[in-house]
C-alpha cells in the first residue's frame, strides 16, 4: 500500500510539473513571476548589507578624522611644550644678564682688580661644618688667599683656600669669620662676627657711647688689611644696651650666599703692593 501511495504521489507531482511547464511554455507567466520575486528577494537581501556598509564607512571616516585631530593636538602640545622651554630659557638668560650687569657695574677701589666667578659648590669642609662656597676661579686667574668676594648687594666673605682652577670662600656667616667694619654715617668702629647660617651677625667691641641706630649701614673699615675700605657689608638689625657695658648689636647681611650664582673676586694690584713695600 505504501509503495502505491508513493508511486501515486510521484506520478501526480510529475503530472503537475509537466502541466505547469507546458502552461509556462505557452504563456511565459512563470518566468516573469520568477524574475520579479527574485529581484525583490535580492533587494531585501542587499539592503541590510548596504546599511551595514554605510555605517561602517561613516565610522571609518569619523575614526580617520579623529586620528587626524589627535595627531594635530599632539603636534600642538609639542609646540606648546617647546615654546614653554624656550620661554624658560629666555627668562633664565634675562635673569643672568641682569645679575651680570649688576656685577659689571661694580667699580673696584683703587689698586684693586675685579674678576667674575661662578659658584659651583656650597657648604664644604669636614662634615660640611664650614659656611663656605666654591668658585670656579683659582691661582691661574690670579686669585689668592684672603681675596675679598662680593655679591651685587654687598660683601660675602674672603677666599680661604686656593687651587689652580678653583677656590673656597669662607662666608661672613661662619663663626670663624671676623671683619673690621664702621658705621657709614656715625663712623663708629667694631668687629662683625659670624654666628652660623640662619643667625644674624654680631657686632662686637663697639664703644659704649657709640651712636647706634637700627638700619645703619655697616661698611668695611680697611683696618684688617684684608678688605678695601668702604665696601657695604650689613645693616644693624637690633641694639640692646646694658648700663656700664658694651651694647649687644646684631646685623643682617646685605647679600645671601645661598641664592648667589655669580660673584666678584677682588685682587690687589701687585705692582702697587711692591711700591708700598719699597
For 154-205, write each residue's pLDDT tens digit: 899 999 999 999 999 999 999 999 999 999 998 999 999 999 888 999 999 9
- Of 84, 105, 126, the domain-final residue: 105
Q: What is the mean pLDDT of the segment spanning 30-46? A: 50
- Of 57, 81, 105, the domain-final residue: 105
Residue 106 has pLDDT above 90, yes or no: no
Grid coordinates given for 167:
677656590
Q: According to the model, what pLDDT value does residue 277 have?
A: 40
Most confident segment among 42-56, 88-102, 194-208: 194-208
Residues 89/91/94/99 CA torsion (nearest 10 deg): -100
pLDDT higher at 29 or 9: 9
pLDDT higher at 144 or 65: 144
pLDDT class of 22 with cuts at 50, 70, 90: low
Q: According to the model, what pLDDT value does residue 28 have?
A: 59
- CATH number of the domain enclosing 201: 2.40.10.340
Grid coordinates given for 34:
520568477
Q: What is the mean pLDDT of the segment spanning 88-116? A: 67
CA distance 169 to 123: 10
Q: How many domains does the chain have?
A: 2
Write b or e for each residue in 115-138: b if 16 or more Cβ atoms lie within 10 A of its Cβ, otherwise e.
bbbebeeebbeeeeebbbbbbebb
Mean pLDDT of the chain: 77
* C-beta separation of 72 from 65 below 8 A: no
Distances in whole angstroms, Cα of residue 225 to Cα of each of 120, 128, 205, 219: 28, 28, 18, 14
Q: What is the mean pLDDT of the segment spanning 91-101? A: 59
If asked whether residues 42 and 97 sit together in one domain, one would say: yes
pLDDT tens-digit series, residues 117-168: 889 888 755 545 688 999 999 998 888 999 999 988 889 999 999 999 999 9
- Of 80, 105, 130, the domain-final residue: 105
Helix (H) / strand (E) element for 3: namely helix 2-27
Question: Phi, psi (5° rounding) for residue 201?
Answer: -80, 155
CA distance 221 to 181: 5
Could you give the 3-state DSSP secondary structure of residue 203? Answer: strand
| Residue 237 domain flag | yes
| Residue 7 domain flag | no
Question: 87-91, 95-99, 213-217: which has the minimum mean pLDDT?
Answer: 95-99
CA distance 272 to 269: 5
**Paired residues of 218 in beta bridges:** 183, 234
Q: According to the model, what pLDDT value does residue 163 have?
A: 92
| Residue 19 domain flag | no
| Residue 65 domain flag | yes
Q: According to the model, what pLDDT value does residue 220 have?
A: 93
If asked whether residues 207 and 127 sit together in one domain, one would say: yes
pLDDT class of 87 with cuts at 50, 70, 90: confident
If asked whether residues 46 and 164 sit together in one domain, one would say: no
pLDDT tens-digit series, residues 217-243: 999 998 988 999 999 999 999 998 877
Instruction: For residue 218, give its domain range.
Output: 112-269
Residue 90 has pLDDT above 70, yes or no: no
| Residue 4 domain flag | no
Angle formed at CA 58 by CA 54 and CA 62, multiple of 5 degrees: 170
| Residue 101 domain flag | yes
The per-type count for the chain, helices as H runs and strands as E runs, is 3, 12
If asked whether residues 130 and 67 sit together in one domain, one would say: no
Grid coordinates given for 219:
661698611
Amino acid at each position: 500500500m505504501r509503495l502505491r501511495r508513493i508511486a501515486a504521489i510521484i506520478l501526480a507531482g510529475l503530472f503537475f510539473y509537466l502541466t505547469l511547464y507546458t502552461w509556462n511554455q505557452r504563456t511565459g507567466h512563470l518566468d516573469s513571476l520568477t524574475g520579479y520575486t527574485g529581484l525583490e528577494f535580492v533587494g531585501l537581501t542587499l539592503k541590510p548589507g548596504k546599511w551595514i556598509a554605510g555605517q561602517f564607512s561613516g565610522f571609518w571616516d569619523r575614526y580617520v578624522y579623529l586620528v587626524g585631530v589627535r595627531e594635530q593636538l599632539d603636534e600642538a602640545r609639542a609646540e606648546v611644550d617647546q615654546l614653554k622651554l624656550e620661554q624658560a630659557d629666555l627668562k633664565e638668560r634675562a635673569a643672568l644678564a641682569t645679575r651680570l650687569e649688576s656685577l659689571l657695574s661694580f667699580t673696584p677701589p683703587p689698586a684693586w682688580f675685579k674678576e667674575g666667578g661662578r659658584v659651583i659648590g656650597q657648604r664644604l669642609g669636614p662634615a660640611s661644618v664650614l659656611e663656605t662656597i666654591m668658585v670656579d676661579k683659582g691661582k691661574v686667574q690670579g686669585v689668592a688667599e684672603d681675596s675679598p668676594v662680593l655679591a651685587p648687594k654687598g660683601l660675602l666673605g674672603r677666599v680661604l683656600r686656593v687651587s689652580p682652577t678653583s677656590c673656597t670662600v669662607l662666608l661672613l656667616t661662619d663663626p670663624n669669620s671676623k671683619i673690621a667694619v664702621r658705621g657709614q654715617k656715625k663712623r663708629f668702629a667694631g668687629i662683625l662676627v659670624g654666628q652660623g647660617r640662619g643667625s644674624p651677625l654680631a657686632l662686637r667691641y663697639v664703644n659704649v657711647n657709640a651712636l647706634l641706630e637700627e638700619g645703619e649701614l655697616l661698611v668695611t673699615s680697611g683696618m684688617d688689611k684684608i678688605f678695601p675700605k668702604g665696601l657695604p657689608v650689613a645693616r644693624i638689625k637690633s641694639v640692646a644696651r646694658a648700663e656700664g657695658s658694651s651694647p649687644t648689636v646684631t646685623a643682617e647681611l646685605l647679600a645671601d650666599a645661598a641664592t648667589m650664582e655669580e660673584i666678584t673676586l677682588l685682587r690687589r694690584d701687585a705692582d702697587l703692593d711692591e711700591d708700598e713695600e719699597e
